[in-house]
Amino acid sequence: MDFDRTAEYAQHHGEEEGKKMRKTIWIIFWVLLAVTTVEVSLGLVWKQWGLNWQFVKWTFILLTLVKAYYIVAYYMHLKHEFKNFIYAVALPYIVLVLYLIVMALTEAIYVHGEDMIM
Amino acid sequence: MAGISPSVDKNNLWGGGFSPFNVSYGKIMMWFFLVSDAFTFSALLISYGFMRHRFEELWPVAEEVFTHFPFLHGDHPLLYVALMTFILIMSSVTMVLAVEAGHRMNRNGVILWMALTIVGGLIFVGSQAWEWYHFIHGTEWGALQLADGTIAQWVDGAKNAFTLPNGTTMSGAEAAAMIQSGTEVYGANLTVNEYGVPLFGDFFFFITGFHGTHVFSGVVINFIIFVNVLKGTYEKRGHYEMVEKVGLYWHFVDLVWVFVFTFFYLI
């Protein structure tokens, strides 16, 4: 039996569709560049502007998640896959990493001591 | 891009004979590998956050550690790493353009964009080597490691006064005694770090090193596929799905850097 069915799923498109796709690719590039520029500028000026560090920190994390979304959804094409495939990839990751983060946040207070430096 | 292939009967997706995900075996496996790799990087970054919280007062500010820029003198915080981020995003764009050219069976397009992706990857790896060199080499004056392991920064090149991590400046006879019992340290390695806690250096070397290894292997894999494109292997096969698969890996490397950039350099 022939198990290599790759050719059936291989994607092809014409010139017309390719033009539209290249446009999307470059739009996403400008989005990523703009977000990175905002991040770097914020990192350079937040002290002079007297901004609250907690606010700056969460802005950085939020912008990072925005970038991650655009890379995974568009460049890695996940947004256009079947829904059940998106769930199969994203859910295990999200659930386990949230669990890890919750553990680190709730348990980190116990190790905050003065006993050891190295 | 094409969504549901017309040959799939949606009511019979799980009936066998066709991938219920409408994705080929190789691509599914690449995705699952990337998920497992993402777990590794997440665990590393979360443990970084954990230890940083543990040693909050002693943790160096990355902005004050990585201030060099090639051919420029003085302090330029964030600038170099911002450039590295830009290079990696750029190479992600050229990669996705190579995939797009593959969908049109445009061999010359794939050759051009993949070549640029490889060049971008090499520049990034080189930049990382440069950054490591400066971190290992350290500053002109170095720092003073006190007898209890604490790192104190010199006030000036005379090296008779220093500032403790809590901001107190020590000088005079008391300082001289502490200098006597301490050691001068330069740069960073796995046990010594002139900028602060040695753990910072350990995490820096491990996380950026692990990511750099991914970039390097990505460049190697991209190069192998590039040679196959030149040889016309995928032209004969009728599709450029291999380019798509290495593309997924390459975007993942970029994705990880987005997080390393935030948690190591910005926060």
Phi, psi of B154 (to 5 degrees): -65, 145
State which residue of chain A sits closest to B4, comparing Cα positions. A82
Query: Band of the pLDDT at A116, cuts 50, 70, 90?
Result: very low
- Residue B65 to residue B61: CA distance in whole angstroms: 7
- Residue B46 to residue B53: CA distance in whole angstroms: 11
> What stretch(es) of chain B map to CATH 1.20.120.80?
21-136+188-266
pLDDT at A113 (0 to 100): 54
Residue type, B96: V
Is the per-residue pLDDT at A117 higher than 60? Answer: no
Q: How far apart are the first and last CA of chain B?
A: 37
Among A81-90, A96-105, B71-80, the minimum mean pLDDT is found in B71-80
CA distances from A105 to A60, B49, B61, B232, B256 (A): 18, 9, 21, 52, 21
- Residue B238 to residue B105: CA distance in whole angstroms: 8
- The verdict on a CB contact (< 8 Å) between A89 and B31 is yes
Q: Closest approach of chain A CAs to the CA of B171, in angstroms?
A: 23
- Residue B201 to residue A4: CA distance in whole angstroms: 47
Which A residues 9-68 touch B at CB under 8 Å?
9-15, 18, 21-22, 25-26, 29, 32-33, 36, 39-40, 43-44, 57, 60-61, 63-64, 67-68
Query: Band of the pLDDT at A3, cuts 50, 70, 90?
Result: low
ipTM at complex level: 0.89
Cβ neighbours, 10 Å, residue B45: 21
The residue assigned the tokens 């969504």 is B3
Is the per-residue pLDDT at A98 higher than 70? Answer: yes
Fold held by B21-136+188-266: Four Helix Bundle (Hemerythrin (Met), subunit A) (1.20.120)
In the predicted model, residues of chain B with pLDDT beneath 70 are: 1-17
More confident residue, B121 or A7: B121
Question: Which residues partner with B72 through β-bridges?
Answer: B69
What are the pLDDT digits (tens) for B170-205?
A: 888 888 888 888 888 998 988 888 888 889 999 999
What are the pLDDT digits (tens) for B198-211?
A: 899 999 999 999 99
Beta-strand pair B169-170/B183-185: unpaired
pLDDT at B214 (0 to 100): 97
Task: Estimate to the nearest angstrom the gap between the alpha carbon of A105 and the chain centroid.
Answer: 21
Which DSSP symbol is given to B72?
Answer: B
pLDDT at B12 (0 to 100): 65
Q: List CB contacts (< 8 A) between B237 and chain A.
A: 7
pLDDT at B249 (0 to 100): 97
A&B contacts, CB < 8 Å: 170
Q: Could you tell me if A8 lies within 8 Å of chain B, comparing CB atoms?
A: yes
3-state SS string over B187-249?
Answer: CECCCCECCCCHHHHHHHHHHHHHHHHHHHHHHHHHHHHHHHHHHCHHHHHCCCHHHHHHHHH
pLDDT at B7 (0 to 100): 59
